[in-house]
Amino acid sequence: LNMSRQLATFARKMGDYERLVMAIAENDVPRVNALLSTALASTAIAHEPKKSPSSFCHTASDHGRRRRHGAYL
């Protein structure tokens, strides 16, 4: 029973990952936003602090800057 739960969880996570990768590849920003919002609201990433999907995006002023130890240079 435990192995079947682990496999089901793995399959769900892979499906979520594939949907996210396809949305990013197709540059479908509304879909990426919806997928991230759903993932953040679910218990799938309950160990992470809740953030809005827009907080994952960099602003135009951040573009091209390298990150080092969590700070923009």
Burial class (CB in 10 A: 0-12, 13-18, 19+), 36: buried
How far apart are the C-alpha atoms of 10 and 16, rounded to whole Å? Answer: 10
pLDDT of residue 55: 55
List, in sequence order, every residue forming a beta bridge with 67; answer none if it has no partner.
Answer: 72
pLDDT digits (tens, 9 = 90+) for 34-70: 998 888 887 655 555 555 555 555 554 555 555 555 5
Rounded to 5 degrees, what are φ and ψ at 30? -60, -35
What is the number of other CB atoms lying within 10 angstroms of the CB of residue 63?
7
| In the chain, where the domains are located | 1-45
pTM value surpassing 0.85: no
Is the confidence at residue 23, as pLDDT, over 50?
A: yes
Is the confidence at residue 13, as pLDDT, over 70?
A: yes
Q: How confident is the model at residue 73 (pLDDT cuts 50, 70, 90)?
A: very low
How far apart are the C-alpha atoms of 53 and 60, rounded to whole Å? Answer: 16
